[in-house]
Amino acid sequence: MALIMKISGEDRQNQKPQFSHFSHRHPLELSQLHQEDNAVCSGCELDILGSAYVCTKPNCTFLLHDLCFDLPRRIRHRAHPKHPLGLSSSPPYDDREFTCDACGHSGHAFTYHCGTCKFDLHVECASLPEVENRRDHEHPLVLLCGSPEGGAAAGVFVCYVCRGLIGKGCWMYACLTCNCGAHLECAGIPLH
């Protein structure tokens, strides 16, 4: 004999709307998260503070930032013009990890991925601003998707902020006037 619970009209009004997302099998609802929640986004792996989509199932810790919930499923990026990049909910590799071709850090969640070229970007690296202004430099810094050929010391730059090397092929913010560059993190971009 099945137990059937009747939901009153008042209970139905108090229920939050539920949403579905391609990356998760359970329904999600929009909630407000606070600092004491220590919540980490299942999409970008960064801390969540404020509104987020939360799994409705008990003991499921799946959460998404508003922005990660609304990410386009396919993009074109100037760093990889040959093919579009598809949004994968998890790395498509056996070890379930990818190395971002922009920042060089590993990721275990969403990636913009090209299966043909094995090219991967963190979702936040895929949307880095083209120009970054810093108080400690008089010119705007331009995003370079890889160090320029024949740049300072044949493609190896010293970060003007931390004085560490910016490896050949690494993305950076550069001042083309002063021929100097900064790591993505040193330019003030929060990364993994």
Residue that is written with structure tokens 């799994």 in the block: 55
pLDDT per residue, tens digit, the chain (192 aa), is 333 333 444 444 567 899 999 999 999 999 999 888 889 999 999 999 899 999 999 999 999 999 999 999 999 999 999 999 999 999 999 999 999 999 888 999 999 999 999 999 999 999 999 998 888 889 999 999 976 554 544 556 788 889 998 877 789 999 888 888 888 888 876 665
- What are the sequence ranges of the domains in the chain? 18-69, 74-126, 128-192
CB-based burial, 35-46: b 16+ in 10 Å, e otherwise? eeeebebbbbbb
Which residues, including other chains, have CB under 8 Å from residue 51's CB and lie 6 or more apart?
A: 30, 31, 32, 33, 66
Query: Nearest CA to 156 among 177, 143, 164?
Result: 164
- Measured at the alpha carbon of residue 49, what is the angle toward residues 106 and 134, in degrees to the nearest 5? 65
